[in-house]
């Protein structure tokens, strides 16, 4: 009989190095679409909440997998997504550029979505 890998008497095992390679349909493109919707909406609350929730989930997932590099990029995205509407409108183009840059960085760190199908 095999023992449970995380039985109470044993210390938890760290995640596998390839545990980031989890199939999540859409992956980062879902976050990209949520951010584009937010920008197109003029920073409407419902779109802001959706983008923030997705980014927060990804940040937690990356942290739990031990990928601090990905978690840090996602956390930075989340901080920008949490800006109030007035500040976001004031920053307008600069904010769009920075969000696009951070999404590109995230995709670059992950590899192509077709290759890994990751979040």
pTM, two decimals, is 0.74
> Is pLDDT at 18 greater than 90 in this prediction?
no
Q: What is the pLDDT of residues 1-17, one digit of tens each?
A: 455 555 556 666 655 55
Q: Domain limits of the chain?
A: 28-108
Pairwise pLDDT comparison (79 vs 9), residue with the higher score: 79
pLDDT the model gives residue 112: 47
User: Is the confidence at residue 96, as pLDDT, over 50?
Assistant: yes
Q: Is 118's pLDDT higher than 50? A: no
Averaged confidence pLDDT in the chain:
82
Q: What is the pLDDT of residue 66?
A: 83
Report DSSP letters for the chain, one per residue.
Answer: -PPPTT-TTSPPPPPPTTTT----TT-HHHHHHHHHHHHHHTS-HHHHHHHHHHHHHHHHHHHHTT-HHHHHHHHHHHHHHTS-HHHHHHHHHHHHHHHHHHHHHHHHHH--HHHH---
In whole angstroms, give the CA distance from residue 73 to residue 106. Answer: 6
pLDDT score of 113: 43
């Amino acid at each position: 009989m095999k023992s449970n890998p995380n039985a109470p008497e044993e210390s938890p095992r760290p995640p596998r190095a390839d545990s980031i390679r989890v199939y999540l349909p859409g992956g980062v493109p879902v976050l990209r679409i949520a951010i584009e919707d937010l920008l197109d909406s003029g920073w409407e609350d419902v779109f802001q909440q959706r983008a923030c929730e997705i980014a927060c989930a990804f940040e937690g997932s990356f942290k739990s997998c031990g990928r601090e590099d990905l978690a840090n990029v996602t956390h930075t995205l989340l901080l920008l997504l949490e800006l109030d509407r007035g500040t976001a409108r004031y920053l307008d183009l600069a904010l769009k550029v920075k969000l696009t840059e951070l999404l590109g960085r995230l995709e670059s760190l992950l590899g192509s979505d077709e290759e890994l199908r990751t979040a």
